[in-house]
Chains A and B, each alone.
Chain A
Amino acid sequence: MSEGCAERGDQLAPYVDRELDAASADAFALHLVGCAACRAGLHDALQLVALEVRASSRGCSGA
């Protein structure tokens, strides 16, 4: 994840959390195509987001 990609790993959370501007998000999306570390990091981040969504919508009842 962020430790796996020195170039853009620290942009993973802002990308997933919609905190990048449109141009930066597009650039990161293209970076994902060529970076296995960021793809793996994105996968993990989305899995965590899915858990967080369930927690917020179900009163933290777990998955």
Chain B
Amino acid sequence: MPGVRVGELQPSDRPEPGGSEAVRRVLAEQLPVLRAVARNLVRNTAEVEDLVQDVFERALRSLHRIDLGANPRGWMVTILHNLHIDRCRQRARMQAHVPCDDVAISAPEAGEAPIWSAITIDDVRRAAAQLPDELREAYAMFALDGRSYIDIAATLGIPKATVGTRLSRARARLKQLLIAELEPARAAAAEGGDR
């Protein structure tokens, strides 16, 4: 079914269990991105493929949770995150003395996924421009220019560990900036929809 794109699905495409061909195609379009994200979490190709396949299957089983008119990227990344945490939890249970939260992780915690699906890389760039200088330069070098931690550390004359600290803080601040930017629009849309 060529030509079906993210955002073009209709409620009538909501499939029976297993997914319609259109839904499966739209979800499958996200697999390259999911594969790239999964490579950040697991270390070998087989594990990456297992994780991505699990995301795809979980997504097909959870279609009742998704807005078929929206980009499923954020939703599927959330599923990937939750599956990764599930796997960490399984490993923790095999080891003694590791505290575990009692929170059930396996069910999708997808509350913020719609927000992420609405965010574009242009939104991220605009938000990044508002970061404090030392966070902005580290984030831009790594995420936007593709430079390594070691390269950034050498350029800025800081320890490699400090690069990690700055990137951790930059991403935390970016989330705050992006949500602050999008929430008013979402609230206005919701209010309009209630009328």
Contacts and interface: CB of A to CB of B under 8 A. Distances in A.
B119 A51 contact: yes
What is the size category of the interface that chain A forms with chain B?
35 or more
Interface in A42-63: 42-57, 60-63
Contact of B164 (A3, A14, A46, A56): A14
Given A50-B33, A50-B37, A53-B33, A30 B98 contact: yes
Contacts of B99: 33-34
A7 interface: no
B58 interface: no
B169 A30 contact: no
A12 B171 contact: yes
B101 A36 contact: yes
B40 A17 contact: yes
A2 B168 CA distance: 6
Given A2-B165, A34-B99, A52-B143, A13 B81 contact: no
Given A2-B168, A13-B171, A51-B119, A42 B124 contact: no
A44 B143 contact: no
B89 A63 contact: no
A19 B168 contact: no
Contacts of B91: 29-30
Interface residues of B, number: 55
B82 to A, nearest CB: 8
B175 A1 contact: yes
A33 B82 CA distance: 11
A16 B85 contact: no
A48 B124 contact: yes
B121 A51 contact: yes
Interface of B: 32-34, 36-37, 39-41, 43, 71, 73-74, 77-78, 80-81, 84-85, 88-89, 91-92, 95, 98-101, 103, 105, 109, 112, 116-117, 119-122, 124, 142-144, 146, 149, 160-161, 164-165, 167-172, 174-175
Interface of A: 1-4, 9-14, 16-19, 22, 29-30, 32-36, 39, 41-57, 60-63
List the 6 closest pairs (A to B, CB-CB), nearest first: A1-B172, A13-B167, A62-B120, A14-B164, A55-B121, A2-B168
